[in-house]
Structure 1
Amino acid sequence: MTSPSRRTFLKTAAAAFAAPYIVPARCFGANDRVTLGVIGTRNQGAPNLKKFLALGCNVAGVCDVDADVRAAGLKLCAEKGQTPEQYGDYRKLLDRKDVDAVIITTPDHWHALMTIHACQAGKDVYCEKPLSLAIAEGRRMVNAARDNKRVVQTGSQQRSDEEFWKACTLVRNGAIGKLQKVLVGLPKSNHPGELGPDGTPPAILDYDMWLGPAPLRPYNEKRVHYNFRFWWDYSGGQLTNFGAHHLDIAQWGMGTDDTGPVAVDGTATFAPPNVSEVTETCRLTYTYASGVQVILGQLQKDIPVGATFIGDKGTIFVTRGKLTSDHPEILEQDLAALPIQLYRSKNHHQDFLDCIKSREQPVADVEIGHRSATVCHLGNMVARLGHGVKWDPQAEQIVGDSTAAAMVDRAYRAPWTHDMAFQRT
């Protein structure tokens, strides 16, 4: 599964793999089925559950803080003849020794703790993008995966789509000449409008658990479930939503999966505070040590949604279901004959299952997901501050700006803490 070029890249993590991965015997049970625990079954959670069920996984438990959402997840399992247990607290699901891996499809503010606790509980993890809500969280997630020898796949499924793999393979092999610039386009913010008055959480929702480590706020239906993505407490708007997809592809095409920009600058506009906190529009410039710049635009007429790679001999544009070039013959090359072969996954969910058994790192490994999320977070940092920042991608530190440096991590609401370890009941 792993190409020579990928092995070369993975040498940077060699120290973390001094001891071999251990494959749990339970991974090779009856019919060779992987047993999953599913945390979050709303929005992307339902498609994720359907895909793993279709791939023949056994679902031992379904967890969600909303009883109606949980019931919908159980119904999907029942349609496949499965009757998993249900949970309102993810830690009880992690306590099950028969669970090989967990699927985390929750609001972003829960990704870090759940992934870390799952790794500590000996589970492999498929966690939705963006991997984290703060840069420092992502590094703690990587450390937890490596320390506990866990496979962690980020839900950046574009890495398993042919058009993105083909575009990045061509760029990495110099098909458009020397790379000069990458344009990344984002769609508009799809918030639901004005908040309206706060209310009382419905009986079906454990609102305190929904908040978890996020600050205590009054309940408002336009802040929960899908609408979480428009508030800094829980997410980062389209910059961490579609930005996590298209900036991830930019990183892949540039060959910067193990690093990041050295400077970020730009501007942004915002909706009224009673509507949304995240960007309405933005234009951000990421400068890399190589001199290549990534220009990210939200609702910028000259930047289409997707990724446009610009070289001195041509351009390649890629978005979902579309791959074009200003020189069409570039796309006709025999990719198998090219010297640099990128990791090829044809099914993101199957790739995760395969890696559970092989103990290889998946196509969107936790380190890759962390680095891509970091690019998103740096952009939001500049948007919120209204000025540029300098970034040391090796030390993962802001350079010369104490205000920006304080935004690299986030505080947790008690009793949740950064160093809270998973404990079996």
Structure 2
Amino acid sequence: MPPVPGLSRRRILAGAGAAAAPLLLPARVFGAGDRIVFGVIGVNGQGLADMSSVKNQVAAVCDVDKNHVTRAVERLGGKAEGFGDYRKLLERKDIDAVIVATPDHWHALITIDACKAGKDVYCEKPLTLTIAEGRKMVEVARAQKRIVQTGSQQRSGKDFLLACELVRNGRIGKIQKVLVGLPGANFKGPPVPDSEPPAYLDYDFWLGPAPKRPYNEKRVHYNFRFFWDYSGGQMTNFGAHDIDIAQWGLGMDESGPVAVEGTGTFHPEGWFEVTQSCRVTYTYADGVQLIVGQGQKDIPGNVTFIGTDGEIHVNRSKITSKPEEIVKQPLKEGDVRLYESRSHMGNFQDCVRSRKLPICDVEIGHRTATVCHLGNIAIRTGKKLVWDPKTEQITNDKEAAAMISRPYRAPWTL
């Protein structure tokens, strides 16, 4: 069976570790053992975990919640400077790279400003809140010659790599469809009334470009992901991981589907805005379907590739196949090999030094986020969408087409 098409020469060279010239110029030249100095913007939850992975290299942290800043500085032994305004952190000339782990609605602006300030960026997933933001992030990263890694870290997992390589090499025959199973909405209710924001939180800055509305403790910090103003629910939360693997296996890192349709259900009492369950079908130009399900009995969790000669299922703990021999037979010399990384943050730092594109480059993160956003747009409009992955436009419906971007609250602009 010949390899599945869709792997560009650029990605093959990256995966093979070819001795190509660096793609992007550094702000400073790094020696093999030079320490990369980090700033971390957003130091709660995932931000703390990311910070811990480079804790001996962090010079500054930033958060609009003073309690988060205090905790982060303490965990760093009091050796990092704390900020409430990320723009002040970006002014520090000694910082080489920043980690962006804020709510989704801040990812684009901070990443763009960081690139313009000469910093490389590790931006948590999902990369964006809207499709238009992603294209702008790519444009700025390229113009400023910055390394931008998307935090979809399953790309650096050995089982996910193997699954995609097996699919690309035709081990399950002609690929027919991919199933992605999403978890349910883990919003902790019931809702509470609006109130005054706590003194330790700069709530207006937390909102940033999002619409102005009264403070509610069930909409901030972890719960931001359940409201459309700031995120896209589990479609963009876990979808940014598992849809990303589907895109990788299909060879669609620089493209996407051509049609999308879906339905969803919502909390009967409106505790949160995003889906409680959903089913979305994406169709690619070659007829392959990606079916994303939340609360769908026929769709297992994580990622399942289905072909004419077998199936491969992969999650964070294991990879299995039907028949079992598919995953037991090693790849041969001459088979397609994909970009390999054993550490997502390590790969980012390697690329900061080498100036080669990282395993989940900003363009890849943008394309994956686009698939997630298209699913939510299809659900919210109730329409079948026609998508042009080259022009990045919805071509058959004006209402849906308008949803690829959103206005920013003044004074913020993209």
- Name the TM-score class by shorter chain: over 0.9
Alignment of 1:384-403 (within 5 A): 384-403=380-399
Deviation at 1:159, TM superposition (A): 0.3
Match of 2:215 among 205, 213, 219: 219
Whether contact under 8 Å (1:6, 1:343) holds in the other structure is: no
Alignment of 1:93-172 (within 5 A): 93-172=89-168
Deviation at 1:337, TM superposition (A): 2.6
Deviation at 1:60, TM superposition (A): 1.4
Deviation at 1:335, TM superposition (A): 2.8
> Structure 1 residues 88 and 26 mapped into 2: Cα distance closer, same or farther (>3 Å)?
farther
SS of equivalent residue, structure 1 residue 240: helix
Whether 1:208 and 2:204 are equivalent positions in the alignment is yes
Whether contact under 8 Å (1:27, 1:35) holds in the other structure is: no
Deviation at 1:10, TM superposition (A): 7.9
Deviation at 1:407, TM superposition (A): 0.1
Whether contact under 8 Å (1:282, 1:299) holds in the other structure is: yes
> Structure 1 residues 372 and 175 mapped into 2: Cα distance closer, same or farther (>3 Å)?
same
Q: CA RMSD in A?
A: 1.7
State the alpha-carbon separation in 2 of the partners of residues 236 and 335 from structure 1.
38
SS of equivalent residue, structure 1 residue 412: coil
> Structure 1 residues 325 and 339 mapped into 2: Cα distance closer, same or farther (>3 Å)?
same
Partner residue of 1:417? 413
Whether 1:366 and 2:365 are equivalent positions in the alignment is no
Deviation at 1:343, TM superposition (A): 0.3
Whether contact under 8 Å (2:22, 2:355) holds in the other structure is: no
Runs of at least 5 residues in structure 2 that lack an aligned partner in the other structure: 1-6, 14-19
SS of equivalent residue, structure 1 residue 236: coil
Report percent identity of matched pairs: 59
Match of 2:324 among 321, 328, 352: 328
> TM-score, normalised to structure 2's length?
0.94
Whether 1:23 and 2:26 are equivalent positions in the alignment is yes
Deviation at 1:235, TM superposition (A): 0.2
> Structure 1 residues 358 and 227 mapped into 2: Cα distance closer, same or farther (>3 Å)?
same
Deviation at 1:334, TM superposition (A): 2.0
> Structure 1 residues 34 and 48 mapped into 2: Cα distance closer, same or farther (>3 Å)?
same
> Structure 1 residues 153 and 161 mapped into 2: Cα distance closer, same or farther (>3 Å)?
same
1:76 alignment partner AA: R
Over residues 93-119 of structure 1, what are the superposed CA-to-partner deviations in whole Å (9 max), with x where a residue is unaligned? 111111100000000000000000000
Deviation at 1:7, TM superposition (A): 3.9
Q: Runs of 4 or more off by more than 3 Å in structure 1?
A: 5-11, 17-20, 26-29
Alignment of 1:54-93 (within 5 A): 56=56, 58-78=57-77, 83-93=79-89
Alignment of 1:180-195 (within 5 A): 180-195=176-191
State the alpha-carbon separation in 2 of the partners of residues 179 and 98 from structure 1.
48
Whether contact under 8 Å (2:61, 2:81) holds in the other structure is: yes
State the alpha-carbon separation in 1 of the partners of residues 370 and 222 from structure 2.
22
> Structure 1 residues 225 and 234 mapped into 2: Cα distance closer, same or farther (>3 Å)?
same
State the alpha-carbon separation in 2 of the partners of residues 35 and 77 from structure 1.
14
Whether 1:34 and 2:33 are equivalent positions in the alignment is no
Whether contact under 8 Å (2:22, 2:354) holds in the other structure is: no
Alignment of 1:260-339 (within 5 A): 260-272=256-268, 274-335=270-331, 337-339=333-335
State the alpha-carbon separation in 2 of the partners of residues 249 and 338 from structure 1.
23
Runs of at least 5 residues in structure 1 that lack an aligned partner in the other structure: 12-16, 419-425
1:240 alignment partner AA: T
> TM-score, normalised to structure 1's length?
0.92
Partner residue of 2:51? 49
Deviation at 1:288, TM superposition (A): 0.2
Whether contact under 8 Å (2:99, 2:123) holds in the other structure is: yes
SS of equivalent residue, structure 1 residue 282: strand
Over residues 298-351 of structure 1, what are the superposed CA-to-partner deviations in whole Å (9 max), with x where a residue is unaligned? 010111111100000000001111210011111122236352110000000000
Partner residue of 1:346? 342
| Count, aligned residues | 402
Whether contact under 8 Å (2:121, 2:148) holds in the other structure is: yes
Segment of structure 1 superposing worse, 368-377 or 64-73: 64-73
